[in-house]
Structure 1
Amino acid sequence: MIEFIWEVVVKKDGRGQFELAFGPGGAWSKLFAKCPGFRGTTLLRGTRDLQRYLVIDVWDSEGQREQSLAELETEYEKLQAALGAWTESIVELGVYRVLAEGTVRSRSFTQRSEKRAPPRRIR
């Protein structure tokens, strides 16, 4: 899998529109939803700077992404134009290959493990 990562700084009055477009079920994901190789988009917002976002698109390959962009050129350009009205800057941070995926424990699992009795010491 390949991840394409952008840092986006959004105008204060554009945050709502941006989050709708790039959030779950938004225009960005809908544009690529039926494309071969598209795995999804993750949208992250900064905790210290609420205007700063990371957009992470996951594809099976760069080739599939390029093919999809070529086929959806008109729709993609319209969405990019709207994006320009909501943003101050967009910087491509890079293209990354997924080497490994981590496991995140659910909160309930962590709480259960904290309630266990401490291990006995052997003397």
Structure 2
Amino acid sequence: MIATIWRFRVQPGKLDAFERAYGPQGDWARLFARAEGFIATELLKLRGEPATYLTIDRWQSEAAFVSAKAALADDYAALDRCCEAYTSEESWLGLHDIVH
């Protein structure tokens, strides 16, 4: 299994909308759930920094993740444009192997 991790700084007044879109049952998780190999999304809020979050998307394999990115490219881009208003900063922290 692998995980992709993103860090976000959320705009003032946009926390609720951000959490709805990026949470485990949110817009992004529902999009990814359409792809084979998606497992789950986690949303973490950094302690001491209420506007800083991490998302962790778990996939069965890197191949499943790559395939999903290609298959969902148009819908991904559209959702990304909609969600841009929620954040002031977005950083991809990479693809990580899950160690059992």
TM-score scaled by length of structure 1: 0.77
- The alignment covers a number of residue pairs equal to 100
Which residue is equivalent to 2:12? 12
Structure 1 residue matching 2:95: 3-state secondary structure: strand
> What is the one-letter code of the residue matched to 1:81?
R
The structure richer in strand per residue is 2
Could you say which structure has the larger radius of gyration? 1
1:99-114 correspondence to structure 2 within 5 Å: 99-100=99-100
Per the TM alignment, residue 68 of structure 1 is displaced from its structure 2 partner at its CA by 1.1
Which residue is equivalent to 1:32? 32
Mapped partners of 1:53, 1:70: distance in 2: 26
> What is the one-letter code of the residue matched to 1:90?
E
Which residue is equivalent to 1:56? 56
Q: Which has the higher contact order (CA 8 A, sep 6+)?
A: 2
Q: Percent identity over the alignment?
A: 35
Per the TM alignment, residue 52 of structure 1 is displaced from its structure 2 partner at its CA by 0.1
Structure 2 residue matching 1:63: 3-state secondary structure: helix
1:90 lines up with 2:85 in the alignment: no
- Alpha-carbon contact 2:42-2:56 (below 8 Å) kept: yes
Question: Runs of at least 4 residues of structure 1 off by over 2 A?
Answer: none
Mapped partners of 2:92, 2:74: distance in 1: 21
- Alpha-carbon contact 2:24-2:40 (below 8 Å) kept: no
Note the alpha carbon deviations across 1:54-76, whole angstroms, 9 max, x for none.
00000011111111111111110
Mapped partners of 2:5, 2:62: distance in 1: 13
> What is the one-letter code of the residue matched to 1:17?
A
Per the TM alignment, residue 24 of structure 1 is displaced from its structure 2 partner at its CA by 2.9
Per the TM alignment, residue 79 of structure 1 is displaced from its structure 2 partner at its CA by 1.0
Structure 1: gaps spanning 5 or more residues: 101-123
